[in-house]
Amino acid sequence: MHDHVKLSSWATSCHSTSRMHNEDAYLCLPENRFFAVADGMGGHKAGELASKSVLGFLKDKIEKTPNMRFRLDALTSRLIDQIKASNSHLLEISENKPLLEGMGTTLAAILFDGRFVIHAHLGDSRLYRLRANKLDLLTVDHTAYREKLTQKCAVLTEKHVLTKALGQTASVQPSVGYQVAFPKDRYLLCTDGLSDVLSDDTIKKYLTNPSLQTACQDLIQAAKVSGSQDDITTVLIQVEFPTLPRV
């Protein structure tokens, strides 16, 4: 089934002019059908180190994993275990290093297995899906603001206070979801530097560009024009189902 599904992808990250370092990072492993974005946080260079360390750790783990077919539940368990291990890795790095104290990162990741899609996230980096000109947000931000909004609380908290992230606590539990992929589906992973300033309609408009590269670049430019003061990262994946040869 793997061989019957083709993925095309493009990734772009833009450094905010208001910061010394790009605290965003992305990971594209098309051979392993795994893609992710991370948005780091922390003083000094801690945010940059956190996002890149987590994605570097996941890259190493995933590339060393045998490329075999597993049941969906087994794949999910393995992905969750790898994310939890990356959290432990981040905590080890920050231990006894005052400059790195409190560093952490969001994570939004997507794994393809044939027509099945597994996605996992912590924090407010997002996953969108464009299908037949309809845009759907597949993740729910792990923020105090979102939780208060869900509870219809009259007093809303600061929008970017995260309730889940890597590197903050010894135990983490990513939110996990599942999809079935269809031909021409597009999946967009992005950091909040993009989603904070662009409406769903605007995101959809740029995602319809036939070129993945142009779509990513135009999204970032639109976010800048809309006043984003944050680092901005996009990873865009398109699903194809090549015609099988006749036997």
Q: Does residue 160 lie in a domain region?
A: no
Dihedral sign computed on CA atoms, order 89, 122, 108, 111? positive
Q: How many domains does the chain have?
A: 1
Q: Contact, 90 vs 54, CB < 8 A?
A: yes
Q: Does residue 110 lie in a domain region?
A: yes
pLDDT digits over 135-163, tens only? 999 999 999 876 666 665 545 556 678 99
Q: Which amino acid is at 99?
A: L
Q: Does residue 100 lie in a domain region?
A: yes
Q: What's residue 106's pLDDT?
A: 97
Q: Does residue 217 lie in a domain region?
A: yes
Q: What is the mean pLDDT of residues 117-138?
A: 97
Q: Does residue 142 lie in a domain region?
A: no
Q: Does residue 153 lie in a domain region?
A: no
Q: Does residue 245 lie in a domain region?
A: no
Q: Any idea what the Cα angle at residue 144 is, between residues 141 and 148, rounded to 5°?
A: 100
- Extract the tokens encoding 212: 């993945």
- Extract the tokens encoding 34: 């795994």
Q: Contact, 23 vs 51, CB < 8 A?
A: yes
How confident is the prediction for the chain on average, in pLDDT?
90
- Extract the tokens encoding 100: 């790195």
Q: What's residue 181's pLDDT?
A: 95
Q: Does residue 12 lie in a domain region?
A: yes
Comparing 75 with 151, which gets the higher pLDDT? 75
Which range marks the domain in which residue 42 is found? 2-137+165-240
Q: What's residue 152's pLDDT?
A: 59
Q: Which of the four pLDDT bands, split at 50, 70 and 90, describes residue 1?
A: very low
CA distances from 157 to 141, 153, 229 (A): 14, 9, 21
Cα separation, 66 vs 89, whole angstroms: 22
Cα separation, 232 vs 73, whole angstroms: 33
CATH code for the domain in which residue 133 is found: 3.60.40.10
